């Protein structure tokens, strides 16, 4: 079985170039969301703790079975640890044998950003030029770079309650073509923004900005609120925008829409991809993708990276699965 480390993922992204890699991931997601009826889907298995959440996220079709282990611990950065870390596994359904075990902390950041872009492709104005991001922690640059690969961004407005996170964000993106504009508040950041990403981590109900603070035609990628009791926008806000989710049974428990009735949700993302429902219908409407992270996205990036790792000859074969001449002689392994 092949193991892909953080170094392997870095090598892959460097070999392909960040923009090309992200496009590959977006295209993979579009293909995979377009095959919605081919999967065995389920909400994730979630274990809640006072300080965070630990989750298992499975998804499979007739070829691959995938799952991810992931946490969310908003207090971790105060102790020098990441809020979100993850590991993923892809296996062959014919034999049940695992094919790759991979780091998924980076891959989660990539697939979350790429899923936001996929939603934006259907829900944002194609001429969007200003992006605002609230929360400039671990996920932030991935979000911005993915959107910059699809939209012609001229300005990125940003705000975080932690000035250190804002400095880190501006350092990491200082060589990009767009203008970086630090803001004093979330409300200042979203001023006249066509694309808004909310990526804060706080285990509480927040209202980062209100409906009156954003412009007509804006698209919001609400990705920070992703478990019960953890939201970023008010019910007043949600009641006035077109809401799209990944998988309703999961998002109703975990997303911004945990505050709403199910009938407030316009569509699941796959319905836009499969052209069952139209996405944006005019230049004025305000659209919101309520992203909580769905197992199909992990399946998709695992499948994509599995193929790419073969092509780029990356990863290390490790003896984690027994290889036996006589498959009944497992005990014989102890003697050799």
* Residues of the shown chain interacting with ligand NAD in the complex, contacts defined by CB under 6 A: 72, 74, 77, 83-84, 108, 112, 134-139, 159-162, 165, 186, 199-202, 206, 208, 223-224, 226, 291-293
Beta-bridge mates of residue 87 = 69, 103
Closest distance to ligand NAD from the beta carbon of 275 (Å): 24
Give the E-state strand segments of 12-84 in sequence order: 45-49, 52-60, 64-72
Closest distance to ligand NAD from the beta carbon of 282 (Å): 27
- Of 180 and 312, nearer to ligand NAD (C-beta) is 180
- Of 84 and 314, nearer to ligand NAD (C-beta) is 84
Q: Which residue is nearest to ligand NAD (CB)?
A: 137
- Of 60 and 250, nearer to ligand NAD (C-beta) is 250
Whether 299 contacts 15, CB under 8 Å: no
- Of 145 and 208, nearer to ligand NAD (C-beta) is 208
Q: Which of 239, 241, 208 is nearest to 223 (CA)?
A: 208
Closest distance to ligand NAD from the beta carbon of 290 (Å): 9
Q: Which of 174, 165, 193, 161 is nearest to 286 (CA)?
A: 193
- Of 88 and 135, nearer to ligand NAD (C-beta) is 135
Q: What share of the chain is helix, strand, coil (3-state, %, to 5)?
A: 35, 25, 40
Residue 226 annotated among the catalytic residues of the structure? yes
Catalytic residue from among 226, 263, 290, 326 = 226
Closest distance to ligand NAD from the beta carbon of 97 (Å): 28
3-state secondary structure of 76: helix
What is each CA distance from 162 to 25, 131, 159, 165, 191, in whole angstroms? 30, 20, 9, 5, 20
Q: What's the CA gap between 194 and 128, in Å, rounded?
A: 5
Beta-bridge mates of residue 50 = none
Under DSSP, the state recorded for 43 is P
Residue numbers annotated as active site: 226
């Amino acid at each position: 079985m092949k193991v892909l480390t953080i170094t392997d993922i870095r090598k892959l992204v460097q070999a392909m170039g960040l923009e090309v890699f992200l496009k590959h991931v977006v295209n993979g997601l579009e293909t995979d969301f377009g095959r919605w009826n081919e999967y065995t889907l389920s909400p994730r298995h979630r274990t809640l703790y006072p300080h965070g959440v630990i989750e298992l996220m499975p998804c499979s079709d007739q070829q691959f079975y995938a799952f991810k282990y992931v946490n969310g611990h908003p207090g971790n950065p105060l102790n020098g640890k990441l809020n979100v870390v993850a590991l993923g596994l892809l296996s062959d359904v014919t034999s049940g044998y695992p094919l790759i075990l991979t780091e998924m902390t980076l891959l989660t950041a990539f697939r979350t950003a790429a899923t936001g872009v996929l939603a934006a492709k259907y829900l944002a104005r194609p001429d969007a030029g200003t992006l605002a991001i609230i929360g400039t922690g671990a996920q932030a640059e991935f979000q911005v770079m993915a959107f910059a690969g699809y939209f012609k961004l001229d300005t990125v407005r940003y705000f975080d309650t932690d000035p250190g996170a804002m400095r880190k964000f501006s350092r990491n993106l200082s060589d990009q073509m767009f203008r970086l504009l630090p803001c004093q508040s979330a409300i200042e950041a979203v001023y006249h923004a066509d694309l808004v990403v909310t990526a804060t981590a706080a285990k509480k109900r927040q209202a980062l900005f209100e409906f009156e603070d954003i412009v007509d035609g804006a698209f919001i990628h609400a990705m920070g609120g992703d478990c019960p009791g953890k939201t970023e926008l008010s019910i007043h806000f949600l009641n006035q925008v077109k809401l799209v989710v990944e998988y309703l049974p999961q998002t109703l428990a975990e997303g911004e829409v945990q505050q709403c009735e199910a009938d407030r949700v316009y569509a699941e993302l796959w319905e836009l991809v499969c052209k069952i429902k139209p996405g944006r219908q005019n230049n004025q409407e305000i659209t919101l993708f309520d992203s909580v992270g769905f197992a199909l996205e992990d399946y998709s990036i695992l499948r994509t990276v599995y193929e790419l790792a073969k092509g780029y000859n990356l990863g290390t074969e490790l003896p984690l699965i027994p290889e036996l001449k006589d498959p009944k002689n497992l005990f014989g392994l102890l003697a050799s």
